[in-house]
Amino acid sequence: MTDQVPQIPDRRLTTPRAAAIAGVIFGLLMIAIFTIINLNIPAVEEDTGAWLETSVRPVTIALALIPFAGIAFLWFMGVLRDRIGLLEDQFFSTLFIGSGLLYLGLVFTGGAMAGGLMTAYFLEPSIVTEGNVYIFARAVIYQINNVYSIRMAGMFMFVLATIWVRTGVMPRLIGLITYAVAVVLLVSISFIPWMVEVFPVWVLLVSVYILVLDFRYRKDVDEGTFDEQGEE
């Protein structure tokens, strides 16, 4: 008897089609989250903590959506890496993944601190309202969300624009526009509450464009305009 080598089926993982809408989900969720927060919580210099008595429910809903937005953002990063494919460079990939994860971690941290502040207020309001506890916590949360996370978002976009321009996986115009928006986020004035929505809007628009390209490609393949390798 001869030993037969077991046949290993081809089970290579491929990017699921559902992953293409991850960026859309992230963009819509983060736009909704930041809109709710900005409409219910005043800017730092105007915030006295009165919203803890009047706007707890909408802010709680917004904070509860952050983890789901984070999951969608991870899928979005996966879609972007899949489009780069074999053209991926280790140096730029490190910056791309690092800045993306730092942005996500900072958003999570800011949300967790805001949730902790609200929980402390429910348990013992005087702990939060008396002294400088609320002022300090509010300032830290604002710095995380409106300074550090925005800078990491700008870095994420800057690196991605560089990858797109050098590899050509996305139109050059989109890369140049991304450069411009990234510079705005990197050097923007921190005390602009609505600036946090720029990055989710960009992710939403880029994701819609990728979905359109994917739809056109699959339609051409089904109609026989392109073969399996995407060639005419």
Tens-of-pLDDT digits for all 232 residues of the chain?
455 555 545 444 455 556 678 999 999 999 999 999 989 888 777 777 888 888 889 999 999 999 999 999 999 998 888 878 777 788 888 899 999 999 999 999 999 999 999 998 888 888 887 768 888 888 899 899 889 999 999 999 999 999 999 888 888 999 999 999 999 999 876 667 788 999 999 999 998 988 888 777 666 655 665 554 444 4
Cα distances (Å, whole numbers) of residue 219 to 11, 114, 127, 216, 222: 25, 46, 60, 5, 5
Distance between CA 31 and CA 180 in Å, rounded? Answer: 20
Residue with tokens 């972007």: 80
Whole-model pTM: value is 0.83
- Rounded CA-CA distance 207/158 in Å is 17
Assess contact for 199 and 153: CB atoms under 8 A.
yes
CA 46 to each of CA 3, 51, 126, 191: distance values in angstroms, whole numbers, following the listed order = 78, 11, 20, 12
Reading the block at residue 84, the tokens are: 């780069």
Q: What is the DSSP letter of 96?
A: H
Task: Give exposure, 153-166, as e/b (b: 16+ Cβ within 10 Å).
Answer: bbbbbbbbbbbbbe
Q: Which residue has the tokens 């993944």?
A: 97
CA quadruple 23, 25, 27, 33: dihedral positive or negative? negative
Q: How far apart are CA 110 and CA 142, in angstroms?
A: 8
- How open is the CA angle 119-124-130, to the nearest 5 degrees? 110
What does DSSP assign to residue 80?
H
Q: How far apart are CA 146 and CA 199, in angstroms?
A: 12
